[in-house]
Amino acid sequence: MTNVLTFTKTPNAGEPWDVAIIGSGPSAFTAAIYTSRGALSTLILGGDMWGGQLMLTTEVDNFPAHPGIMGPELMTKMKDHALLFGAKMIEKNVTSFEVPSINNKYFKLTTADDLYLAKSVIIATGADTSWLGVPGEDKLRGRGVSSCAPCDAPFFKDKKVAVVGGGDSAMEEALVLTKYASEVVLIHRRDSFRASAAMQKRVFENKKIQVLWDSSVAEILGDEKVTGLKIKTTAGTKQAQKVKGEEKQGFVYWNMDIDGIFVAIGHTPSTKIFKDKVELDTKGFIVKKSADGFNTLTSQKGVFVAGDVHDYHYKQAITAAGFGCMAGMDTVKYLADQN
C-alpha cells in the first residue's frame, strides 16, 4: 500500500479523544480503521494482553482471503492496519468507566496509570469461552480440544468427536460436526437439554448424534493429541446402566476413545466495568438499543458496541469485524450529528 495518510491527531493533555475503543480483537481493530479514516482521533485501550481469543488459536481457515493463517498473525496484521491511519493503542486494562454527568462532559476511562477522556466509546471487549477446567484440556487445546465447530470441524472428517453442553450452542456444534465426523457424542451433565425445542428436534433426528445423559468429562486423554475421554456418569441413572466402569462417590468412571472434543458450555462476556452504566442482559452481554439509524447503540448515548461482547450467536472473527465496521460508522455519524 502506498501513500497512506494519517487522518487524525492525538489530542493535547486534558482534551478528550473523539472515540475510545475498549478491546483489541477483530471488532475493535475494524472499528478503529473506520473511525480513524473518518478523521476521529481514536484511542484503542487494548488491555494488558491484546488480541483477544484469536491469540490463543492456531490455524484460521474461515477468514476471507487468509486461508490457513495463524490466529496471532491475523491479529498482528489487523492491529498494524488499525494503527495505519493514526489510531493510538495503549496496552492497558480499563479499570473503571464513567459516563458523562452534570459535572463531567466526557466519558472517563481509567487504567492503572492514567485517566482518558472521550466524546464517545465503542465497547469491543469480547467474551471468553467457558472451559471445563479438567486435566488435559489446556495441554490439548488446538490438538483435538476446540470450542468452534465452524472453524475446526473439517479437521475431523470421518472421525469420532464429542461435544459437551446442553444449550443451543452445543446443539449447533453437534449439528455442524455431523457434516464431517462419522460419529458425534453429545455429553450432557443432566437428563434434559436447555436448548430450544427446534434445535433439540434437529439433534434427536440426526442419526450421527448419540446423546450421553447424566455424564460429564473428568479428564481429556492423550499426549500429542486427543485420544479419549475419562467420563463420569451419575450412578443409579439409566445411562449408568449402559456403561461399564468403576463406581466411586456416586459416579461411574469409564473411558471412551475419541479424536476430538468441542466444549460448548457458554461464554462469559467481559462487561464487569460496564455494570449499572450500560444495560446488560441476564448473562452479562451488552444489550443493543438500536435507535435513530444507529444499529450498534447501547442504552447509553454515545456508547456503541461491537463483537462477541453483545453477539452470543455468531461469535466469528469475520462477524466481529463486521460489527466493528458498523460501530465505527455509527460513531462517525453520531459525532458529526453533535456538531
Q: Which residues participate in catalysis according to the annotation?
A: 148, 151-152
Of 7-15, 140-148, 162-170, 222-230: span binding ligand NAP (CB under 6 A)? 162-170
When binding is defined by CB under 6 A, the residue of 152, 172, 311, 330 that contacts ligand NAP is 172
266 contacts ligand NAP (rule: CB under 6 A): yes
Q: State the residue for C-alpha cell 468403576.
A: 246
The count of residues interacting with ligand NAP (CB under 6 A) is: 18
Phi and psi for 99 in degrees, rounded to 5? -85, 160
307 contacts ligand NAP (rule: CB under 6 A): no
257-182-217 Cα angle (round to 5): 35
User: Which residue's C-beta sits nearest to ligand NAP?
Assistant: 167
Residues 6+ apart with CB under 8 A from 210: 183, 184, 185, 186
Binding mask 310-329 for ligand NAP (x = CB under 6 A): --xx----------------
308 contacts ligand NAP (rule: CB under 6 A): no
Would you state the torsion angle of the CA atoms of residues 327, 333, 335, 338, taken in this order, to the nearest 10 degrees? -140
Residues 6+ apart with CB under 8 A from 206: 174, 175, 178, 184
When binding is defined by CB under 6 A, the residue of 11, 135, 142, 167 that contacts ligand NAP is 167
230 contacts ligand NAP (rule: CB under 6 A): no
**Which 45-84 residues touch ligand NAP, going by CB under 6 A?**
none
Long-range contacts for 238-247 (Cβ within 8 Å, ≥24 apart)? Answer: 238/191, 238/213, 238/214, 239/191, 239/212, 239/213, 239/214, 239/215, 240/214
Task: Report the SS3 class of residue 325.
Answer: helix
Shortest separation between residue 69's beta carbon and ligand NAP, angstroms: 26
Shortest separation between residue 165's beta carbon and ligand NAP, angstroms: 4
Q: State the residue for C-alpha cell 495441554.
A: 139
Nearer to ligand NAP, 92 or 232 (CB): 232
**Which 115-144 residues touch ligand NAP, going by CB under 6 A?**
132
How many CB atoms lie under 10 A from the CB of residue 268?
Answer: 14
Instruction: Identify the helix (H) or strand (E) that includes residue 118.
Output: strand 115-123
190 contacts ligand NAP (rule: CB under 6 A): yes
CA-closest candidate to residue 319, choices 332, 303, 306:
306
Nearer to ligand NAP, 15 or 204 (CB): 204
164 contacts ligand NAP (rule: CB under 6 A): yes
Residues at the interface with ligand NAP (CB under 6 A): 132, 164-170, 172, 189-190, 194, 216, 264-266, 312-313
